[in-house]
Amino acid sequence: MLPGVKKEYGQHFLADPNILDVIGRLAELDRDDVVLEIGPGQGALTRYLAERVARVHAVEIDRDLEPALRELGANVDVTFGDALRLQLPQDATKLVSNLPYNVATPVVVESLDGLPNVGLWCVMVQREVADRFFAAPRTRDYGAVSVLVQLVTERTGFHPVSRTVFRPPPNVDSALVAFRRVAMPNDYERVKRIVTAAFSHRRKTLPNSLELAGVAPRAAAVEALAAIDRDASVRAEALGPQEFVALAEAMR
């Protein structure tokens, strides 16, 4: 581990400037963009963004990085704190980040409805997380995260990333994945609750999983599944994203 790098924060700093242009292309950067960056680290991506967009909001949990994040530009503001606990800037139109591994999934999931003005995401994450975002039903990687991301967005770009672009190099493969907002289902909070409960007991049938999670009695779930032409023995992994929206409506 390099001096100053904190393992508990999942820190792997960008060290290859060539990857910045790939990020810029996938993020479709524009002069009018207001970008939210979670985990700026030593500021390599922050500086790149600041030269190309109207404003950068950078959120960093590690206060020891404050010296590296000074004087990044008049259009950059840096907030220190936990991105999962802070009230994030609501004017952000894009989320562009080398996301710390330990918060990547919750940051993306919570931003789907928590940051309604974000229209495009371009994030560096573990390869398995990137695959999970757009996994197909009945595959190993398909889960609640897949459903929620696919209900709101469509993938616009994907780029595998070598471990050598980071310092220190991670022990896992990474990828850049970009996706654009396309829709927000009606009563999304309710759909989100049902999706999360449906996958909370993956080995159980969907009615049993919903009942165990306290979302609906088994009989009500069975009846709702019948209304969308699904058998009571089905598991959550068999339903496509839009079927969960239909299920939520049938359970109303």
Q: pLDDT grade, residue 5 (50/70/90)?
A: low
Residues 167-210: tens digit of each pLDDT? 877 888 999 999 999 999 999 999 999 999 999 998 999 999 99
Residues 98-153: tens digit of each pLDDT? 999 889 999 999 999 999 999 999 999 999 999 999 999 999 999 999 999 999 99
Q: Which fold has domain 7-181?
A: Rossmann fold (3.40.50)
Locate the domains of the chain by residue range. Answer: 7-181, 188-250
Q: Which long-range contacts (CB under 8 A, 24 or more apart) does 45-53 make?
A: 45/14, 45/20, 45/96, 45/97, 45/98, 46/72, 46/76, 47/72, 47/73, 48/20, 48/23, 48/24, 49/96, 50/75, 50/76, 52/24, 53/29, 53/94
Q: pLDDT grade, residue 8 (50/70/90)?
A: low
Q: Outline where DSSP puts E strands in the chain.
A: 13-14, 34-38, 55-60, 76-80, 94-98, 120-126, 153-161, 166-167, 174-181
Average pLDDT, the chain: 94
Residues 13-51: tens digit of each pLDDT? 888 889 999 999 999 999 999 999 999 999 999 999 999
pTM, 2 dp: 0.93
Q: Does 77 score more than 90 pLDDT? A: yes
Residue-level pLDDT at 1: 36
Which CATH number does 188-250 carry? Answer: 1.10.8.100
148-244-158 Cα angle (round to 5): 35
Residue type at 193 in one-letter notation: R
Cα dihedral 11→16→17→22 (10° resolution): -80
